[in-house]
Each structure stands twice: as C-alpha cells, then as structure tokens.
Chains A and B, each alone.
Chain A
C-alpha cells in the first residue's frame, strides 16, 4: 500500500524539551511539506523540501528544524524555541512538478505542557 505515514498520532511533552515528529512516504514523491494547524484555523506552511538534501523555510519556520537525508523521510523537530508548539502537525508529499496534488498524512497532535 502506497501512502504517507506520521507517528505518533498523539505526543505529549514538557515545555523546554525538543521533540521530533516522524514523516515517511513510499510514493516516490520528490517534494515533502510540513504544516501546522491550530484549532479552527487553516494550515500554515512550516518547511518544505523539493529534493533530497535541500529544504526551504515556509511561513512559520521559527522554532522548527527539518532534515531530508532520504527521499522517503522528512522529520520535523519542534525545538524549545517554538513559543506555542501545541498544535496539529500535518506532513504532505507531492510528485514535485507543476501544481500537483499533495497527499497528506494522518497528522500528529502535539501537546506541550
């Protein structure tokens, strides 16, 4: 089955700790994305990557970091510098050319207390 997976579904952390969210895809897509969604709001782009070993900041990259060492994987680290990390995090991938369809994972709900 081809798809995009995120783990874990729910994650709880104490304030001041870094946490890494996993995103894996087996769709052979070049492009991958991380979004953040707050209650009742739309999605905001954190980081995106069009190719392995390359990534770009989105609209709200401060306090986050990513890596793209493999085509299939695009982990997101929420650092202690992120002031309001509690949110629903969504990972997506796309073929990577033109304006094409983005496939989303099931999301990770992060709660920081």
Chain B
C-alpha cells in the first residue's frame, strides 16, 4: 500500500493561493490520487482526484508530475471557510478492495 506524507499544518491569509504537497514515493501504476477536506465534527468531503498531469475543478487544481511520486493540491484565493484538514490519499487497487488510507492530513488555517 502506498503511503503518503504531507505537512502537518499550514497557515495562510485570506485571498492567497495555497499549495499543499503530498509525497507518495511508492505509488503503484494503477493508483489514483485523491484529496478530501474535513471540517471539525464532520465527515470528509471529496475535493478532487487525478492520475497524472493536471486536473482542475470548480474548487481546486491538482498537479501531478510525470513520475507521480508527489502531488500538489492548489486552492486559489482561500477564505476563512477553507480552514480545515486536507487529506491526500492514494487509491489501493492492488487487491480490488477500494480501500483508502487516511493519514493525519494537513491542518490548514486561514487567517483574516
């Protein structure tokens, strides 16, 4: 199972772009990279998923280099409501069980 490593915490100011990088050196060929957001006392919420290069949706972008050993979640112009924990996950397809491994995530604090 591919393990992920991401910073424990980050601070940013409103209106800034935030980039959170995740390392997954042992990512397998068929693995996808997925990011979730979690607010206190709530379940995580899917943000974005990708396999390679760049993926963009209405809330974020995901940049994945050619070697796929890392990925970067980019949040444009953050607001106070983006304060949350962000999890980077690598999908486990090796046994076809659709299991995710949630690490401790990155605690993002957006300051006014």
Contact = CB atoms under 8 A, between A and B. Distances in A.
Interface of A: 31, 35, 40-45, 48, 50, 56, 58, 88, 90, 92, 94, 96-107, 109
A42 B43 contact: no
A111 to B, nearest CB: 13
Given A31-B98, A92-B43, A105-B43, A42 B49 contact: no
A99 B93 contact: yes
Contact of B103 (A40, A42, A96): A42
B32 A99 contact: yes
Nearest to A48: B99
7 tightest A-B contacts by CB?
A104-B43, A99-B91, A43-B102, A42-B102, A99-B32, A101-B46, A42-B104
- Residue with the highest number of chain B CB atoms closer than 10 Å, among A31, A98, A101, A102: A102
Interface of B: 31-32, 34, 41-46, 49, 87, 91-93, 97-105
B36 to A, nearest CB: 8
Given A100-B98, A102-B44, 13 more contacts: A35-B102, A40-B104, A42-B104, A48-B97, A50-B97, A58-B99, A92-B43, A97-B98, A98-B93, A99-B34, A99-B49, A102-B100, A104-B42
B24 to A, nearest CB: 13
Contacts of B41: 88, 107, 109
A95 B85 CA distance: 24
A108 B32 CA distance: 29
Contacts of A40: 104
B98 A107 contact: no
B105 to A, nearest CB: 6
Given A101-B46, A102-B46, A104-B44, A96 B99 contact: no
A90 to B, nearest CB: 5
A42 B31 contact: no
A96 B90 CA distance: 16
A41 B8 CA distance: 11
Nearest to A105: B43
